[in-house]
Structure formats: C-alpha cells, structure tokens
C-alpha cells in the first residue's frame, strides 16, 4: 500500500475510493476543485482549489511525497486530467484515471450525440422549443445566445455566468428517481433533453423518462482520457490498483 495517495476528486467515485483506501490504512488526500458550494467531504485530508497548472501539481506531488495519483474527476473535467498526466510523468508518480462507464442507448432511445456544448446548443434548437438542460452551470454560456427557446436549467449551485434569456433554474442534486423525472418532463412540457455522457446511475433516470415520452436526447460525448493512462471503472478497481504499483496496472 502506498504511503500517500492523492485523489483528484469531487465525484461520488472519488469519495468512495477515499473511503476504501482510508479504511485500509493509507494516507489519502482528496483535492476538490471548489466549484460546488457544499461538497460531500471524503475521509482523510482534503484540499480545495487548483494547483496552478501541471507545473504546480508536479511541485505539489514532490513536496508532499505523493506515491500515487488517482484522477477521479468528472468525466468532462478534461483540463485537469491532462495536467495530472503531465505532472505525474514529471514527478515519476503512477497515475490512474477512474472513469465510470458512459451510458449506452437501448431500443427506443432517440439520441443525438454531439462533440461539444456549442454543437449541443444548435442541435437542441433544431429539435424543440422547451429544453431540459442538465449540463451543469459552468457551460451555460454556450446556450446564452438562444432567445427563441425556453430552458429548464438544473444544477447543484446557482449559475453565476451568462444564461439563456428564457430560463428557469432548478437547484437540485442527484440521485434522481424515475417518477420524479417523469413528473418533471410532464410538468414543464419538455420536448428536448440536453445532457453530458456523465454515466452512472444517479442521473440516468432522466434518460429512461425521455425514452418513455419519445423525447429526443442531445448527448455531449465525453473527452478522451490522456494517452497511456491506466483506467479503472469503479472505486474497488481503483483501490485494488494501488496493490499493483510494482506490476501491471489495469487498462
């Protein structure tokens, strides 16, 4: 077991991994970006805020004698993942990316995959006029120019940047129930769902509710994991990876 594991967290998977490693006696430091006002704190040491790019993270790894890094950030937090890969390589520290599997369509789904939020904005506008937007508060600027569509914006914290002119903000945190999502779509007369391929069960019921109602889904594809970085699909696999640091890591 490594002496000191840095978990780049902020996700449920990161918190669960911290719990597993902490219970096994590892020294665990979880780093949270600080974008959520009241995050659920994991056990062990916690730091909040950025590192100052890849160089700052590399210095932190060296100064704090980190033995392994687990990148358990959100699947769409692409910048920090590439910084982590660069910093871990520079500090000669093993790195694992913890990524929950993405969603898979089933018969009856009407999915429209896109490569960016900007593409999602154009696709949503072409598909309907009452959009349920669940891409988080950080990306709302991509939709702010659309003035002929009504948006229901759901996020954990209130948006603090540009928003679409015709929007209602719903502050809520998953997990969400299927009955709740069905009622939400019906109550607000939603005809398009826009979401990111975040994966996981906590927010998946909206996809089932959309399928049942025949509502098209604009799905933003997730960015790739940096080349050459080992990948785990869940907290148990990530925790077990710390035992393999002298040999082959999972891919």
Q: Residue 107: how many CB atoms within 10 A of its CB? A: 5
Q: Which has the closest alpha carbon to 67: 49, 33, 42, 92?
A: 92
Strand partners, 4: 27
Q: Which has the closest alpha carbon to 152: 164, 162, 161?
A: 164
Interacting residues of 62 by C-beta distance below 8 A, sequence separation 6+: 91
Question: Which ranges of 52-200 would DSSP assign to H, the alpha helix?
Answer: 53-63, 78-91, 117-127, 178-187
Kindly report the three-state secondary structure assignment for every residue of 189-238.
Answer: CCCEEEEECCCCCCCCHHHHHHHHHCCCEEEECCCCCCCCCEEECCHHHH
pLDDT 10s per residue in the chain (251 long)?
A: 558 999 998 888 999 999 999 999 999 999 998 666 567 789 999 999 889 999 999 999 999 999 999 999 988 887 899 999 999 999 999 999 999 999 999 999 999 999 999 999 999 999 999 999 999 888 899 999 999 999 999 998 898 889 999 999 999 988 899 999 999 999 999 999 999 998 988 889 999 999 999 999 999 999 989 999 999 999 999 999 998 875 434 43
Residue range 20-45, pLDDT digits in tens: 999 999 999 999 986 665 677 899 99
Domain boundaries, the chain: 4-101+223-244, 111-220
CATH number of 4-101+223-244: 3.40.50.720
Distance CA 27, CA 12 (A): 19
Task: Give this prediction's pTM.
Answer: 0.80
Assigned CATH topology for domain 111-220: 3.40.640
Helix or strand or coil: residue 59? helix
Q: Residue 247: how many CB atoms within 10 A of its CB? A: 6
Helix or strand or coil: residue 158? coil
| Tokens matching residue 11 | 């996700």
Strand partners, 194: 133, 218
């Amino acid at each position: 077991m490594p002496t000191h594991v840095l978990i780049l967290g902020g996700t449920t998977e990161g918190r669960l991994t911290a719990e597993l490693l902490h219970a096994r006696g590892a020294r665990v430091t979880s780093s949270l970006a600080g974008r959520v006002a009241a995050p659920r704190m994991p056990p062990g040491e916690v730091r909040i805020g950025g590192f100052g790019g890849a160089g700052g993270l590399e210095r932190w790894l060296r100064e704090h004698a980190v033995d392994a890094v687990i990148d358990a950030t959100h699947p769409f937090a692409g910048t920090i993942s590439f910084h982590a890969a660069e910093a871990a390589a520079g500090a000669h520290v093993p790195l694992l990316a913890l990524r929950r599997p993405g969603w898979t369509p089933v018969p009856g789904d009407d999915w429209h995959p896109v490569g960016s939020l900007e593409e999602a904005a154009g696709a949503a506008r072409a598909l309907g006029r009452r959009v349920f937007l669940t891409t988080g508060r950080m990306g709302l600027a991509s939709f702010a120019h659309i003035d002929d569509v009504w948006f229901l914006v759901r996020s954990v914290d209130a948006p603090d940047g540009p928003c679409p002119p015709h929007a209602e903000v719903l502050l809520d945190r998953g997990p969400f129930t299927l009955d709740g999502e069905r009622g939400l779509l019906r109550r607000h007369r939603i005809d398009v769902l826009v979401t990111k391929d975040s994966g996981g069960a906590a927010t998946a019921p909206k996809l089932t509710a959309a399928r049942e109602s025949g509502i098209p889904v604009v799905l933003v594809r997730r960015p790739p994991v940096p080349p050459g970085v080992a990948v785990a699909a869940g907290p148990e696999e990530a925790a077990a990876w710390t035992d393999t640091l002298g040999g082959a890591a999972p891919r």
